[in-house]
Structure 1
Amino acid sequence: MKTDDIRESFLRYFEERGHTRLPSDSLVPANDPTLLFTGAGMNQFKDEFQGKGRYRTGLRRACTSQKCLRAGDLERVGQTPSHHTFFEMLGNFSFGDYFKLEAMQWAWELVTQAYGVPAGRLAVTCYEGDDEAYAIWREVVGVPKERVYRFGEHANFWPADAPSTAPPGTLCGPCAEIFFDYGEAVGCRRPTCDPACGCPRFVEIWNLVFQQFMKQEGGRLEPLPLKNIDTGAGLERVACVLQGVTTDYETDLFVPIVARVSELSGRKPLAGTPERVRIHRISDHVRGAAFVIGDGVLPGNKGRAYVLRRILRRAIRDGHDLGLDEPFLYKLVPIVAEVMGRAYPELVARRENIARIVKAEEESFLATLARGSAILAERIAEAKGKGASALPPGVAAELWDTFGFPFEITQQICEEAGLGVDRAGFEADMERRQAGGRGGEQFGQVFDTSALAQVKDFAHPTAFRGYEATEAEATVLAIVAGDSLVEQAAAGAEVTLVLDHTPFYGESGGQVGDAGVLESPSCRIEVHDTTRAGDYFHHHARVASGTLRRGERVRAAIDAERRNAIRRNHTATHLLHWALRKVLGPHAEQAGSLVAPDRLRFDFTHFAPLTPQELERVEELVNQRVLENVEVTPTETTLAAAKAQGAMALFGEKYGEVVRMVSIGDYSRELCGGTHVARTGDIGLFKITSETGIAAGVRRIEAVTGHAAYRRVVEQEALLARLGEVLKAPRERLAARAEELVEETKRLARELEKAKRQSFAGAAGGGPFQERAHIGDTVVIAGILEGGRPDDLRLAADGLRKKHPSAAIVLGASDGAAASLLCALTPDLVKRGLHAGGLVKDAAKHIGGGGGGRPELAQAGGKNPAGLASALDAAVAAISAMLGQDKS
């Protein structure tokens, strides 16, 4: 059975049993700060499991095939038959409807009848204290006693070990599992082998979680009035079983990708070889990267972006080890799209953009490998020159921080050079670096129990009135001070408020939240920001006067002038997006945005800086549309109808069945929940202020509109007038006059450099530089150049090395606030084992700084000019000692 058919059969089976089929959520969880990525099918149903959200509108049963990404098992990917970063989780869910009996019966029936897996090849488990589940397996389903296993809370409770270690307030429950048994010939081959063994014989294909308890103080498990079902069957593992293979990489999900990696590398994934691990890991990682990029994440150094970069770079490094020294990973993206395209057509539509982003990251990292390898070679030579047996602890972290150079490559190169590496020190540095960029899976993060989250227990969602009005009468449903729900708040209190109605837009889709005031006869509240969590709007405010009470009626009024500026910038952002696609091509898709009252910022996929001509054309197109003053039309429609009209949806954005589409004329249609002007002419003027690169394959434009754009023009006019005065040239001659001055400056700089070289070349034996020692045929020269710069020291060293066939040169310079050091060696001294980088690094301690460089030339800087003389003395002494000991 093909994987596409396995997925469809699962969803259709549960649809026939009253479940609502819902699309996969994005890998980037919406309104859930506790998660970096969606890692389970239940993530999108947190509200429903608590009797909130869609549960209130009648959703009782659901089924999905959910895209998931977990980075916790990266080291196991490729090493085992079934561990992955990206995978699909088939799931059926019940919210206070059916429970264990139906869930267990249906799971068994689907596996044995619809999928046709022989019952004798299956084993099942349940929690040791769950007699009900055991009885269902044995007496209802009819599983033989010897195929039913009862395990403890670590293996068969969710979350694991919850009865013992979960904090109070945790929703939890026992679970049951279905395993496929590959037989005694597979795995450990012990007669006592069971599903808890961990060897490849038993593979879990379905986990059924019975959410039925709330953990109480004292450890008591309180039965829930609303009992839920949360199941998950790994699609890749199910496919492996149904397609009769022993690893996921032999299924139709992976075979085309594995084959292409083998073709590109000329290596085969033979069992038991490192090549097999690397090819499998590449095949897994490119799937994960393609889906993560497709959901709007770009490679970077923090949070989700860091996880993506790490996944990509592991795959690139594996390719490098297979002999693939040129970008290759991007060539696999079309294959991933072809394999997964039936279920995820958006991946097919974006495959070219995804491939370009992957290729840009490959090119960047391959350059990193080259730079990092060169620097590491210097550090290795320095360490070995000192007789060290290991690379200094900070070097591996320095290479990572500066270049993103992987520790594993550092370790591999050092081992080849006969040096050890301080892995513990490196990991400690990385732990500190990454602490803020991990998505935890602790108990308290499964469900949000904050005061604001508790508002959902007693309050209906906020009705937004801001599209049609700037003011609204509202009732205060909740007051949160700190992390506590309170009944009232006095003057001076910082609070977050939830209203039943609001004209305040909550920050989302790149548009900032509204500000304004809430007023009643008894108080005045100043709202400085508005955010939202799902359909609940949070008004972040300060009680300016009086006392606010829960249940009080207030007049809510936004800052209309600020909102109008935001509206101008938001509509201009849509026009900018259209213009970029017009000028650059359809690959220019939104990758992020900020719509604020004072400016707009738009990130988009493109792979080169825009030329001045392209920027000018984009700005011209937007202003043409502004002058046409066409109507901006927001409409509510179905997602399918909007897509049929060509409306653009954003990377990774989650949309319901009913969406808001914003149309400008007949050329721009985007799904958007933000606020906009009525006509394009309301924007006034559009002016680009900057264009920069922010990541591989991602550019950023910043711009202003309306009054801010007018002020920008006025400032530029004033600047041109001032330049005319300074350069003594009319406006039409400013560019030519500036070019003349630049050329004159370059000519003078060349003459100055020539004079310096002539001066420095003859300086040894007099002036600032002195011959401090003669050891055999070698001269040691040192001196301080007052008021000099680092570039001046380089010029001096070049001249002195040309004059002396064998010389060790140590020079210093100071501008009064900072000091510079330089050490230069002629080639014969480098061959004798001297290293300029090591010498200058030690000398730099005297000036309170640090530095390093190549064996023949190195520089350092510090903040203590007073230590220059002692720094030079120390370097001269070290050089003299080395040369004196060297009898060659």
Structure 2
Amino acid sequence: MVHQEIRQKFLDYFVAHGHTVVPSSSLVPSGDESVLLTTAGMQQFKPYMLGEADALTDFGNTRLTSIQKCFRTSDIDAVGDEHHHTFFEMLGNFSVGDPKDSDGVGAGYFKEEAIPLAWNFLTGELGLDPKRIHVSIFAGGEGIPKDWEAKKIWEREAPGIKIQQYGKEDNFWGPPATAGPCGPCSEIIYTLPSGLETELWNLVFMEYYKGERGKPAKSEAIRRARHNAKALGGYTKLKQKNIDTGMGLERLALILQEKETVFETDLFAPIVAEIDKIAKVDGRGDPRSLRIIADHIRGAVFLIADGVQPLNVGRGYVLRRILRRAILHGRLLDISGYFLLEPAKKVITLYREVYPELDKKEKEILAVVEEEEQKFGKTLNQGLKQLEKTLRGPQGKLVDAFVLYDTYGFPLELTKEIAQARGLTVNEKEFERKLEEQRERARSAQKEAKAASDEEIAPQHTAAHLLNAALRTVLGPQVHQAGQHLEVGRFRHDFTFGRKLTDEELKRAEALVNKKIKEDLPVVKAEVSLEEAKKLGAEAVFTEKYQGLEKVTLYHVGDPLTGSGQVFSKELCAGPHVAQTSELGRFEIIKEEAAGAGIRRIYARAIT
């Protein structure tokens, strides 16, 4: 059964059982700073499970189903074996809210319906052998009782089925961050022909909330839940019961296509074959390196499509790390030149029907991959020589990884991986010490450079806001500020973008800024909550620094109170700024250049 048919069977089954199909959300969680990337199907439904949003209003239903794009960074180092991968697709069905009562109130469902739905799909719709399936339930712990209800339902629906009981470590799901909805779960486990067991489908009975000690609740709904609910070993009962299930498409494809590894399924095989062809190893190359490249380029394509750019922090570092790891393993397969573009194209071809955004963003995806490969490729050979020299050096069993990171751009994890293969260990404490020293030097340099007065740099600061908004208008909403330096008479603006701007794009951005200057728009300062700023679509760099503040400063270019649609720019910022855009006089872009992989830099000025 090909992957397209598996997808359709799953969605059709749940639609037939009253569910509404919800498209996958982005790999970059919207409005949720608690997680780096989307790791589960339930993340986009979290507000509904907490009672903060109404599923009936937004989806017209409380029974929902989706195939969600997910990425788990915890599996990066494990990729290379027969089963682990970073990017995956999660088949899920969800119920938001309590089941119907005798008086007809409620429209959701809980264990009584969730367990039969899963069992009948696997054994009925897909025809899996019931004898190969066993399940597990929550044995109880930390004040939460054993799941007798799930046990009874399984015994009724699947007489004679093997039921194992485990504690919180194995049979209590979530939350993916330090706080959020969670609950006991029931795992459906399938025994492969080889005798290996694989966890196929996880049914989570989401009825608890775990909060962070000492931290304020993020919403009135959660505050009420904490106040009114009975605490159970650090957990509180949610005001409603929810169902959250997740089944990996890749594992299901492995079973239905009767393959030994996920990399042999039609979700991976064409990508592996493309790499094999480039490496000219005719199936004889190191399977670990082939799998790592296939997985990492697949994950990279989807991350870039969802707006992630290679950086040295956060999500951008995840992307940079997997791209550079793929490049390194290309060298280990004796691929001498740049090679990632063809596997990237194969990923887009393989998934374009399911995810049309890959088609729309193909040029951008390939440009980011190409630039990162060229940037790292130039120093890779030198870096490998230096690494070899370092590994053979007199340091003993501890390897100093900082020079490789600082000079050659080697991610710490790559050095650790290669050193480990030689029986050596990276001196991580020394690495962190040198990295902090470097950061402190940078902070000192910034303090020394801050000589200009507020009045002198205000025009350049406002011009930088106008430029940022103009670039997002001309190039697209995936563009975000990545850094800025203000001086008297000019400024530097760094932003996320995967290629060099054309002369036409630069002219359009410059013209748009000058247009807004001539419109004499007011620059309005407002004190708002962080949540309100996010709802307004405000731009910000490193929003983590704002967490915990009751109020943040938001600058609008264009008066938000006029209702005339004049607002051109909205950014979280401490100032200073001019009062009206006409004070800028004229705007000019001086030059544009690369500032790093996936980062462009513009030097510009407001001529007052």
State whether residues 14 and 92 of structure 1, in contact with CA within 8 Å, keep that contact through their aligned partners in structure 2. yes
- The answer for the alignment partner of 2:200 in structure 1 is 205
The one of 591, 595, 603 aligned to 2:495: 603
**2:136 maps to 1:136:** no
CA distance 1:356–1:149, change in 2 (3 Å): same
The one of 57, 62, 65 aligned to 1:63: 65
Q: How far does residue 683 in structure 1 lie from its aligned partner after superposition?
A: 8.9
Structural mapping, 1:410-421, within 5 Å:
none
- The answer for the alignment partner of 2:481 in structure 1 is 593
**1:140-188, Cα deviation, whole Å (9 max, x unpaired):** x12423x33232332112239x9xxx99x874321112222214xx24x
- The answer for the alignment partner of 2:172 in structure 1 is 157
- The answer for the alignment partner of 1:91 in structure 2 is 92
**Please, what TM-score do these two structures have when normalized by structure 2?**
0.70
Q: Which amino acid aligns with 1:77?
A: V
- The answer for the alignment partner of 1:239 in structure 2 is 253
| Alignment partners' CA distance in 2, 1:686 and 1:144 | 77
| Alignment partners' CA distance in 2, 1:616 and 1:54 | 43
- The gaps in structure 1 that reach 5 residues or longer are 188-200, 436-562, 582-587, 632-669, 712-888
Q: How far does residue 295 in structure 1 lie from its aligned partner after superposition?
A: 1.3
CA distance 1:174–1:430, change in 2 (3 Å): farther
CA distance 1:573–1:403, change in 2 (3 Å): closer
Question: SS of the residue aligned with 2:427?
Answer: helix
CA distance 1:567–1:345, change in 2 (3 Å): farther
| Alignment partners' CA distance in 1, 2:80 and 2:483 | 43
**1:753-784, Cα deviation, whole Å (9 max, x unpaired):** xxxxxxxxxxxxxxxxxxxxxxxxxxxxxxxx
- The answer for the alignment partner of 2:10 in structure 1 is 10
The one of 391, 398, 405 aligned to 1:400: 405
Question: SS of the residue aligned with 1:90?
Answer: strand
Question: SS of the residue aligned with 1:209?
Answer: strand
More strand by share: 1
CA distance 1:105–1:214, change in 2 (3 Å): same
**2:591 maps to 1:687:** no
Q: How far does residue 319 in structure 1 lie from its aligned partner after superposition?
A: 0.8
- The answer for the alignment partner of 1:644 in structure 2 is none
| Alignment partners' CA distance in 1, 2:206 and 2:591 | 53
Q: Which amino acid aligns with 2:272?
A: V
State whether residues 626 and 683 of structure 1, in contact with CA within 8 Å, keep that contact through their aligned partners in structure 2. no
**1:535-556, Cα deviation, whole Å (9 max, x unpaired):** xxxxxxxxxxxxxxxxxxxxxx
CA distance 1:18–1:682, change in 2 (3 Å): farther
State whether residues 589 and 605 of structure 1, in contact with CA within 8 Å, keep that contact through their aligned partners in structure 2. no
CA distance 1:16–1:218, change in 2 (3 Å): closer
Q: Which amino acid aligns with 2:290?
A: I
Question: SS of the residue aligned with 2:18?
Answer: coil
State whether residues 309 and 496 of structure 2, in contact with CA within 8 Å, keep that contact through their aligned partners in structure 1. no
Question: SS of the residue aligned with 1:64?
Answer: strand
Structural mapping, 1:597-676, within 5 Å:
601=493, 603=495, 605=497, 607-608=499-500, 617-618=507-508, 621-622=511-512
Q: Which amino acid aligns with 2:52?
A: K
- The answer for the alignment partner of 1:701 in structure 2 is 602
Q: What is the aligned length?
A: 496
Q: How far does residue 352 in structure 1 lie from its aligned partner after superposition?
A: 2.3
- The gaps in structure 2 that reach 5 residues or longer are 99-108, 140-145, 211-229, 437-457, 522-564, 572-580
- The answer for the alignment partner of 1:364 in structure 2 is 375
Structural mapping, 1:441-840, within 5 Å:
573=468, 575-576=470-471, 590-593=478-481, 601=493, 603=495, 605=497, 607-608=499-500, 617-618=507-508, 621-622=511-512, 685-689=586-590, 691-701=592-602, 703=604, 709-711=606-608
Question: SS of the residue aligned with 1:76?
Answer: coil
The one of 78, 81, 84 aligned to 1:79: 81
State whether residues 46 and 181 of structure 2, in contact with CA within 8 Å, keep that contact through their aligned partners in structure 1. no
**1:119-155, Cα deviation, whole Å (9 max, x unpaired):** 233222222321111111111x12423x332323321
Q: How far does residue 40 in structure 1 lie from its aligned partner after superposition?
A: 0.8
**Please, what TM-score do these two structures have when normalized by structure 1?**
0.50
Q: Which amino acid aligns with 2:29?
A: P
Q: How far does residue 600 in structure 1 lie from its aligned partner after superposition?
A: 9.3
- The answer for the alignment partner of 2:31 in structure 1 is 31
Q: Which amino acid aligns with 1:277?
A: R
| Alignment partners' CA distance in 1, 2:22 and 2:466 | 32
Q: Which has the larger radius of gyration?
A: 1
| Alignment partners' CA distance in 1, 2:335 and 2:45 | 43
State whether residues 62 and 96 of structure 2, in contact with CA within 8 Å, keep that contact through their aligned partners in structure 1. yes
Q: How far does residue 236 in structure 1 lie from its aligned partner after superposition?
A: 0.8
RMSD across aligned C-alpha pairs, in angstroms? 4.3
State whether residues 466 and 569 of structure 2, in contact with CA within 8 Å, keep that contact through their aligned partners in structure 1. no
CA distance 1:625–1:595, change in 2 (3 Å): farther
Q: How far does residue 577 in structure 1 lie from its aligned partner after superposition?
A: 5.6
Q: Which amino acid aligns with 2:97?
A: G
State whether residues 393 and 426 of structure 1, in contact with CA within 8 Å, keep that contact through their aligned partners in structure 2. yes
State whether residues 494 and 595 of structure 2, in contact with CA within 8 Å, keep that contact through their aligned partners in structure 1. no
| Alignment partners' CA distance in 2, 1:627 and 1:673 | 11
State whether residues 310 and 316 of structure 2, in contact with CA within 8 Å, keep that contact through their aligned partners in structure 1. yes
CA distance 1:710–1:96, change in 2 (3 Å): same
